[in-house]
């Protein structure tokens, strides 16, 4: 900036020249040649700028970031080292979980575990909790009916350098030579922190023997469509009671279940309840079924014994023992196909008291001749009418219920060439059902043991008789589902009787009402879904009056059909207990063209239902009900014929 004295001198000099008496001095002295030169701007206090030297300095951002990162890493290393290795910090590596127990036990025995938690840190452990996770199927040692999947116990605080110890007991199950794992987890807190830390350790134990043993007796080879019989024996190998056991059978493709003893506990016939097994106790289950497939194929059956799942009683949650059985299919020397009343398969049913035809078709599958072939059938069943058995070209020995078809009745059986085929048959009846009979008709069957024998030419020219085919066909006896359909005029079987109206006998051009009563009964098997139905003739109307408040009866005006949904019926309904019954009212107005005729009140009635044991649909049909109501107490001859209109 300019100095202030310098400015004062210049101003003073200017004043002296301005007021001088010698004007020439002023102008002469100051006049000079003009030059194109800009006058310097006088500085002022508000526009004076200081000159600053230009700087080349730049901020080193990259170096600052690298330095900060290095500092952060060093800080983290220091923190972790202080936490894990410092004198006053807690490390999980300084906590020991010591588990003492046997290296192996027998399934079903008590497993004792001595668990010690040791704190080797220089700082206390606070709120220490012990968690034990047992394998599936483990039971409480004090109550074998209670599952023990998890065990928890609070150990409290464990001081530095101290330990705490507990003893636990549980019952482990498993298959023989299987390894089971027990997981032990310790959770704890440290002073000054709310965080929860944990450390865990596994204890592996060998199940040296299963608490139960399973053995299977069954065929290793069968012909296709032949019955395979299995006997499954389950016995206890435990020193204590093994509770709530089930047997699960995984059936292969091509196997059709036929029967079992005891009955299955599942709808797919694969699960059987064994209950509790005391030491040394055993259960025997017998299962039969038909195996189908091609020659050379194998069918694998898996049998598993264990405890069921709490959520699904048909699933084995913990397996104690298992067994795999393989059956090879082979083409039989003689192929046999059986039919009963043209029905094939195992679920064949016949109606009680009826005549039935049993047919056997056979074919030689061998590449060589069969000599002196015979087809033999042994019949077993209390409901068989022995006097009704009639073989076609065979002999029936009633003393042992055996039919023999051989060359004496059929010359084709003397020498059967490869691929030769033929058939034999016989007829039989069941005994008629009687409610006072001592024969147990309920869920009854008749079995037919079929065997084909023949001699093959040996290399030495001798013929040896051997069994070329054997199988059993079971026929179930279906129940009788009966219907009684009646008409009434002067009395009806209403619960609350509704009086009929109109002339009796019926009169031309006059409406008359009648009561129809259906009565249903069942003989010896349970019935599901029983239904009775019939249609009204065109000139008959539904009045809507029914005689039952409990039975499900309905009318469809579009089709004219009356339907009675009976539902399920227990065996013996109508025999050992009251029958099921329903009544309804109809009205009819005869035409003058119907004088002298009987009128149809209800078309044919049918009753149908499914036999629970045989699976067959059973029932019967009943004829049309007319105004010729013979069941009415007031019935007389010609009472049902239409009479002329009265004057």
State the DSSP string of 618-632: EEEEEPPEES--TTS
DSSP assignment, residue 505? S
- What are the φ and ψ backbone dihedral angles of 491, each rounded to 5 degrees? -145, 140
Residue 434: the pLDDT is: 80
What average pLDDT score do residues 233-255 get?
A: 89
Structural domains of the chain, ranges and CATH numbers in brackets: 92-209 (2.60.40.10), 212-330 (2.60.40.10), 334-478 (2.60.40.10), 481-626 (2.60.40.1170)
pLDDT of residue 295: 75
Q: Does 110 have pLDDT greater than 80? A: yes
- Is residue 112's pLDDT more than 90? no
Q: What proportion of the chain, given as a percentage, has pLDDT over 90? A: 44
Average pLDDT, the chain: 84
- What are the structure tokens assigned to 50, written together? 């200081």
Sign of the CA dihedral 58, 59, 65, 70?
positive
Residue recorded with tokens 């002329």: 644
Residue 65 parent element (H or E): helix 61-85
pLDDT band at 542 (very low <50, low <70, confident <90, very high): very high
pLDDT value at residue 103: 77
Q: Are strands 316-330 and 221-223 parallel, antiparallel or unpaired?
A: parallel
**Within its chain, how far is the Cα of 323 from the centroid?**
22
Count Cβ atoms below 10 Å from residue 500 Cβ, excluding itself. 19
| Poorest-pLDDT segment among 104-108, 306-310, 600-604 | 104-108
Q: Answer yes or no: are the C-beta atoms of 605 and 621 closer than 8 Å.
A: yes
What whole-number distance in Å separates Cα of residue 630 and Cα of residue 321? 69
Q: Please tell me whether the peptide bond between 486 and the residue prior to it is cis, using omega within 30 degrees of 0.
A: no
Summarize the confidence of residues 404-408 as an average pLDDT. Answer: 93
Higher pLDDT, 496 or 244: 244
Structure token pair of residue 561: 């059909």
pLDDT score for 379: 95
**466-486 residue pLDDT tens:** 888 888 899 999 999 999 999
pLDDT given at position 50: 47
The lowest-confidence range among 19-23, 220-224, 353-357, 624-628 is: 19-23
What are the distances in angstroms from CA 622 to CA 129, 519, 525, 603?
79, 11, 21, 9
Q: How confident is the model at residue 87 (pLDDT cuts 50, 70, 90)?
A: very low
What pLDDT does 527 receive?
A: 95
pLDDT band at 48 (very low <50, low <70, confident <90, very high): very low
Average pLDDT over residues 278-303: 88
Indicate whether this model's pTM tops 0.75.
no
Q: Which pLDDT value is given to residue 576? A: 85
Q: What is the pLDDT of residue 430?
A: 92
Instruction: For residue range 370-394, list pLDDT tens digits in order.
Output: 999 999 999 999 999 999 999 998 9
Q: What is the pLDDT of residues 202-235, one digit of tens each?
A: 999 888 777 888 999 998 888 776 788 999 999 9
Answer yes or no: is pLDDT of 52 > 50: no
Mean pLDDT of 484-506: 78
pLDDT value at 497 more than 80: no
Q: What span, in angstroms and rounded, lies between the C-alpha atoms of 488 and 500? A: 9
């Amino acid at each position: 900036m300019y100095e202030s004295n310098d400015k004062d001198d210049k101003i003073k000099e200017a004043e002296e020249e301005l007021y001088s008496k010698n004007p020439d001095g002023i102008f002469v002295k100051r006049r000079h040649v003009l030059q194109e030169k800009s006058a310097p701007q006088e500085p002022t206090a508000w526009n004076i700028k200081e000159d600053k030297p230009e700087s080349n300095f730049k901020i080193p951002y990259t170096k600052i970031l690298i330095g900060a990162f290095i500092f952060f890493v060093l800080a983290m290393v220091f923190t972790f080292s202080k936490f894990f290795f410092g004198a006053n910090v807690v490390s999980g590596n300084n906590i020991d979980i010591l588990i003492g127990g046997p290296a192996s036990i027998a399934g079903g025995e008590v497993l004792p575990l001595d668990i010690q938690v040791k704190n080797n840190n220089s700082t206390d452990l606070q709120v220490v909790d012990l968690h034990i996770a047992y394998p599936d199927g483990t039971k409480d040692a004090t109550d074998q009916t209670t599952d023990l999947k998890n065990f928890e116990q609070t150990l409290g605080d464990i001081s530095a350098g101290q330990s705490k110890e507990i003893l636990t007991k549980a019952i482990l199950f498993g298959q023989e030579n299987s390894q089971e794992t027990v997981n032990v987890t310790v959770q704890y807190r440290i002073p000054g922190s709310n965080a929860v830390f944990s450390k865990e350790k596994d204890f592996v134990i060998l199940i040296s023997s299963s608490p139960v043993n399973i053995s299977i007796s069954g065929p290793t080879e069968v012909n296709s469509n032949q019955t395979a019989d299995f006997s499954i024996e389950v016995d206890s190998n435990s020193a204590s009671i093994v509770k709530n056991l089930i047997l699960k059978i995984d059936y292969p493709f091509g196997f059709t279940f036929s029967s079992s003893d005891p009955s299955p506990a599942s709808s797919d016939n694969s699960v059987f309840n064994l209950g509790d097994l005391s030491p040394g106790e055993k259960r025997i289950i017998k299962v039969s079924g038909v195996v189908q497939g091609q020659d050379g194929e194998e069918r694998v059956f898996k049998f598993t014994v264990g405890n069921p799942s709490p959520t699904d009683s048909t699933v084995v949650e913990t397996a104690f023992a298992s067994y795999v059985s393989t059956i090879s299919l082979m083409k039989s020397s003689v192929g046999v196909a059986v039919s009963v009343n043209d029905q094939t398969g195992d679920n064949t049913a016949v109606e009680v008291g009826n005549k039935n035809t049993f047919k056997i078709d056979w074919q030689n599958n061998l590449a060589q001749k069969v000599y002196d072939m015979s087809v033999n059938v042994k019949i077993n069943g209390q409901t068989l009418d022995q006097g009704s058995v009639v073989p076609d070209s065979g002999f029936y020995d009633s003393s042992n219920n055996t039919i023999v078809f051989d060359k004496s009745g059929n010359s084709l059986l003397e020498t059967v060439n490869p691929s030769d085929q033929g058939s034999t048959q016989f007829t039989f009846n069941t005994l008629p059902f009687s409610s006072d009979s001592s024969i147990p008709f309920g869920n009854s069957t008749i079995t037919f043991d079929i065997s084909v024998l023949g001699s093959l030419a040996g290399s030495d020219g001798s013929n040896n008789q051997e069994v070329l085919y054997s199988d059993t066909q079971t026929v179930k006896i279906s129940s009788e589902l009966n219907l009684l359909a009646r008409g009434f005029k002067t009395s009806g079987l209403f619960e609350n009787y509704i009086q009929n109206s109109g002339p009796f006998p019926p009169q031309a051009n006059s409406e008359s009402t009648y009561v129809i009563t259906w009565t249903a009964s069942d003989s010896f098997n349970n019935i599901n879904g029983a239904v009775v139905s019939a249609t009204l003739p065109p000139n008959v109307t539904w009045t809507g009056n029914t005689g039952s408040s409990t039975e499900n009866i309905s009318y469809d005006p579009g089709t004219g059909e009356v339907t009675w949904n009976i539902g399920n019926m227990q065996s013996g309904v109508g025999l050992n207990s009251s029958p099921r019954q329903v009544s309804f009212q109809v009205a009819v107005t005869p035409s003058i063209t119907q004088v002298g005729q009987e009128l149809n009140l209800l078309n044919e009635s049918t009753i149908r239902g499914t036999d629970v044991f045989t699976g067959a649909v059973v029932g019967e049909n009943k004829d049309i009900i007319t105004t010729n109501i013979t069941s009415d107490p007031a019935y007389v001859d010609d009472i049902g014929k239409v009479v002329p209109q009265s004057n």
